[in-house]
Structure 1
Amino acid sequence: MARPREFDETAVLDAAAQQFWMYGYEATSVRDLAQSMGITGASLYNAFGDKRSLFRRALAHYVETSFGDRVGRFESSLPPRTAIEAFFREIIERSIQDEDRKGCLLVNSALEVAPHDPDFQATIAEVLVKVEAFFRRCVEAGQRTGEIPTTQSAEDLARLLLGVHLGIRVLARTRPERALLEGLARPALDLLKPS
């Protein structure tokens, strides 16, 4: 009979995500992970498999608790254009307040791991498609109500917003300056306002 797990899975996934987020996939050892998660190496392997499997689970956990939570809060309670603006406002605030300049685990992984690993490339691309889909749903809804102009297609605006989002997350690693990040978002958000 297998022994029940003696740890909180959410807490250990949070700790693993923080470790990968802070140091990257390659620089994070299984020993570092086990120590930060407060479990033994054997428990880590038994519960999550190898480092690669744990990374996949930690990344999925990160996406659900950051992007999934943000989209859920904004899309369900705010008008479409306001939801997009709130999304960028929160991303910029988080970036400015991040003293460690970690950026975004998903974007970091897209730059570090995905170019060399087709499996992770597909995983990260799938999440980026979801980010783009959030923007497209908001733009389409706003265009239907007249809140967002129809001079640009919803697809093009969603792709532009995705690119701005990625740019903010990358720039925040080296220049987490409010004027820079807001200046990057402002022209794109202005395209969503009726003239």
Structure 2
Amino acid sequence: MDPGFMESALICFSTYEFETVTIHQISNFTVVPPSMLIAEYGNKTQLFAAALSWYIDNGFDSMLRQLRKAYCPVAAILCFFRVISERSLIFGGSNARLVFTTAIGLATRNSAFEHIVSNAMQKLETFFCECVTEGQGTVNDMTQEPAEHVAKLLIGSVAALPTLIRVDGRHATVDQFVRSVELLLRRSRA
């Protein structure tokens, strides 16, 4: 799979809504004739699955590493939620957003997307566990709950995100959502 082609396809899918994008629009972004796209992938759903699989295998880990490198543990997690909840180009956020919004919705109807989301969630759970564990050693007000438990709660938050965005994608709602994630990461004051 040509990385340039896959990147172009992902840009197209993040520019247009999945339900409305056409093979001709994808063709324009990828500079591949529609007949070749259909011959190779069959339809836009299979092409989207192939592009997301490629991203999970080639770019997603890099995005998570960049977040870990650029921010302290709590901020890395919060930045991840901002990246996937807004149309962000930071750290390849538009591709990650496709996984955690569009692909989650498609997973109920297509087993290929179920596999893609499962792979992404496994990598994400590791990222969350590592960030929480590191944060517990360096940040005084970090929750002391087991990192595995916190990671599972964060995964649940990721799974709920597509519904939140569909229902009310306003910036204030995203801010409230990220604030609730931050509260989850902080030690409760009893």
TM-score between the two structures when normalised by the length of structure 2:
0.72
What's the offset of the Cα at 1:77? 3.6
Counterpart-to-counterpart distance in 1, 2:110 and 2:83: 30
| 1:15-94 matched pairs, under 5 angstroms | 15-21=8-14, 22-24=16-18, 28-44=21-37, 48-51=40-43, 53-63=46-56, 67-94=60-87
Match of 2:116 among 111, 116, 123: 123
Contact residue 115 and residue 121 of structure 1 kept, 8 A = yes
Counterpart-to-counterpart distance in 1, 2:150 and 2:136: 11
Counterpart-to-counterpart distance in 2, 1:88 and 1:10: 26
Match of 1:190 among 176, 183, 188: 183
Greater Rg over alpha carbons, structure: 1
1:100 is matched with: none
1:177 is matched with: 170
Q: Which has the higher contact order (CA 8 A, sep 6+)?
A: 1
What's the offset of the Cα at 1:138? 0.7
Contact residue 53 and residue 116 of structure 2 kept, 8 A = no
What's the offset of the Cα at 1:176? 2.3
What's the offset of the Cα at 1:28? 4.8
Match of 2:151 among 158, 162, 166: 158
Structure 1: tracts of 5 or more residues without a match: 1-7, 96-102
After superposition, the CA RMSD in angstroms is 3.3
Structure 2: tracts of 5 or more residues without a match: 89-95
Q: Which runs of 4+ in 1 moved over 6 A?
A: none
Counterpart-to-counterpart distance in 1, 2:184 and 2:171: 20
Contact residue 27 and residue 37 of structure 2 kept, 8 A = yes
* Number of equivalent positions: 178
Contact residue 160 and residue 188 of structure 1 kept, 8 A = no
What's the offset of the Cα at 1:153? 2.2
The residue type equivalent to 1:162 in the other structure is I
Identify the range of structure 1 (172-181 vs 26-35) with the bigger mean alpha-carbon deviation.
Answer: 26-35
TM-score between the two structures when normalised by the length of structure 1:
0.71
The residue type equivalent to 1:109 in the other structure is A
Counterpart-to-counterpart distance in 1, 2:12 and 2:83: 22
